[in-house]
Chain A
Amino acid sequence: MMFEHLRARRRLPLLAAGVLDGPARGATLAHVASCSSCRGELDELGAVLRLLASDLKPAEPPLSLSLLVARVGSRLDELDRGPGTVRPRPWVVASWAGAAAVVAAVAAVVFLLPGRPRGGNERPLVSEDTLQRLERNVAREQAARYLGEAQDVLVSVAAAPPPCDREKVDMGEASERSRKLLTRGALLVDPEGPAVASARPVLNDVEQALRQVAALESCVRARDVQRVREDLARRQLLMKIRLMKRELEG
């Protein structure tokens, strides 16, 4: 009896992990059914495993495939050029700087395409078609990211901004973020580009809305913000941003 208990006890971790099978599984389950101590231990093991499983969700890579392909291509080119080259690190995930680096990496791949002057035995990672697809994906990802950041700013305007004085609200942060976003957006998102043609109307509306917010003073009358808010609602801009962002992200 004691031997059976010890054997079942030893098997509990594998039972909890779902890898115990055959007669061993049947015998262990039969023992657990009649042993409250083993049942408690099995429950505890299961709870620990569920805890470990929940901790890593979500585990989607924070970088799209096209950007990863560009990074691998860039790394292979670097290795082709031989030792002494500096390896870019760290990953700058979801940042404009990261996007700029990827554009540079894609540009490097363009430079290595057949038909372009190049030295040594460097080989292109991708064909022209693939490259165009990559560039298109990068452009769309940048536009989606821009819309995402604009959405954050405009949501903070549409919500209730904190008061800063009597009948005035604090728009300092939203206004500052809008100005920065307009500058960066102008550098990295080309609304005339074919990759984001379908997003052009929304991008234009977003730019106009950000300009309105950027023009606000840091402590502004609530009714001035209300006007911006009504404009957003009239144009249903937040909903359009959400839908377009989803489309751009594919």
Chain B
Amino acid sequence: MERSAGDDRPLSDRDLMVRLAAGDREALPPLMERHYRRLYRIALAYLRNPDDALDAVQETFVKAFQNAVRWDRASEVGPWLSRIAVNHAIDRYRREKRRRQTLTPFDDEARELPSTDQPSPERTALGRELGVRIAAALRALPERQRAVFVLRHYEEHTLEEIAGVLGLSLGTVKSSLHRAIRRLRERLAGLSA
């Protein structure tokens, strides 16, 4: 853990960001240690693929280093990183969507398999089918609704935090979440019994 000079306290996120902005790469590992799990969960919930999610986390920290000088010192670091991760996930999803349009239906189905990188004995055929249906339901949501839903449901951000991360008004966040849940309920009704 990085510590302040002559002080036993670990450096705060803000201190680390200031060092990053000055081009100090050593500030990156402690910042990553604090945030990479959370960012991975966000990216995984959005992209539904462990490799793509890891890639998104990697690129989030690369961009954080490159854009540290533009970070507003008054803002919180966590939501700022979340915003980079969500934006990267959205970009990646769009690219992937374009690419998938050229694939065969079988390839497409394979991409929608649940988010496990290794086959598990516990993963039954029923569970696999369920994962496919859930992935398809999330995929069918418009981007903004999906981002809002992921941040709320998988990361338990407050509506205010989501508004800050995505740069939306509170009302828009509320209505997006409302619509996302309604849509998911329509598509997944019956599976949850």
**In the bound complex, do residue B192 and residue A17 qualify as a contact, i.e. CB atoms below 8 Å apart?**
no
From 178 to 227 in chain A, residues with beta carbon under 8 angstroms from any chain B beta carbon are none
How far apart are the CA atoms of A52 and B115 in the complex, in Å? 12
* Total number of B residues with any Cβ neighbor in A under 8 Å: 50
**In the bound complex, do residue A52 and residue B28 qualify as a contact, i.e. CB atoms below 8 Å apart?**
no
**In the bound complex, do residue A19 and residue B118 qualify as a contact, i.e. CB atoms below 8 Å apart?**
no
Whether B19 is near chain A, meaning CB under 8 Å from some CB there, is no
* Chain B residues with CB below 8 A from A90, complex form: 51, 55
How far apart are the CA atoms of A10 and B33 in the complex, in Å? 41
**In the bound complex, do residue B118 and residue A94 qualify as a contact, i.e. CB atoms below 8 Å apart?**
yes
* Chain B residues with CB below 8 A from A69, complex form: 28-29, 32
CB distance from B163 to the nearest CB of A (A): 12
Whether A156 is near chain B, meaning CB under 8 Å from some CB there, is no
Whether B45 is near chain A, meaning CB under 8 Å from some CB there, is yes
Q: Please name the residue on chain B nearest to A74 by beta carbon.
A: B58
**In the bound complex, do residue B25 and residue A123 qualify as a contact, i.e. CB atoms below 8 Å apart?**
yes
**In the bound complex, do residue B54 and residue A17 qualify as a contact, i.e. CB atoms below 8 Å apart?**
no
Scan A38-68; emit 1 where CB is below 8 A from any B CB, else 0. 0000001101111111011001111101001
Task: Give the interface segment out of B78-86, B94-102, B182-190.
Answer: B182-190
Whether A37 is near chain B, meaning CB under 8 Å from some CB there, is no
Whether B90 is near chain A, meaning CB under 8 Å from some CB there, is no
**In the bound complex, do residue B37 and residue A61 qualify as a contact, i.e. CB atoms below 8 Å apart?**
yes
Q: Tell whether A94 pairs with B117 under 8 Å between CB atoms, given A48-B189, A59-B40.
A: yes
Residue of A55, A59, A73, A91 touching B51 (CB-CB under 8 A) = A91
**In the bound complex, do residue B181 and residue A60 qualify as a contact, i.e. CB atoms below 8 Å apart?**
no
**In the bound complex, do residue A47 and residue B192 qualify as a contact, i.e. CB atoms below 8 Å apart?**
yes
Main secondary structure of the interface of A (DSSP, over half): helix
Residue of B54, B130, B152 touching A68 (CB-CB under 8 A) = B54
Q: Tell whether A52 pairs with B134 under 8 Å between CB atoms, given A44-B185, A45-B185, A93-B117.
A: yes
How far apart are the CA atoms of A248 and B41 in the complex, in Å? 25
* Chain B residues with CB below 8 A from A45, complex form: 181, 185
* Total number of A residues with any Cβ neighbor in B under 8 Å: 42
Main secondary structure of the interface of B (DSSP, over half): helix
Whether B147 is near chain A, meaning CB under 8 Å from some CB there, is no
Scan B42-59; emit 1 where CB is below 8 A from any A CB, else 0. 001100001101110111
**In the bound complex, do residue B32 and residue A44 qualify as a contact, i.e. CB atoms below 8 Å apart?**
no
Residue of B114, B181, B189 touching A17 (CB-CB under 8 A) = B181
Given contacts A47-B193, A65-B33, A123-B25, 17 further A-B pairs with CB under 8 A are A17-B152, A17-B177, A52-B134, A52-B153, A52-B188, A53-B154, A59-B154, A60-B40, A62-B54, A65-B36, A69-B28, A72-B28, A75-B58, A75-B59, A76-B65, A124-B25, A127-B26
- B residues adjacent to A (C-beta < 8 A): 23, 25-26, 28-29, 32-33, 36-37, 40-41, 44-45, 50-51, 53-55, 57-59, 61-62, 65-66, 114-115, 117-118, 130-131, 134, 138, 152-154, 158-159, 174, 177-178, 181-182, 184-185, 188-189, 191-193
- A residues adjacent to B (C-beta < 8 A): 10, 13-14, 16-17, 19, 44-45, 47-53, 55-56, 59-63, 65, 68-69, 71-73, 75-76, 79, 89-91, 93-94, 123-127, 130
* Pairs across A and B, CB under 8 Å, 10 listed: A13-B178, A48-B188, A56-B41, A59-B41, A59-B45, A60-B40, A63-B54, A65-B29, A72-B32, A93-B50
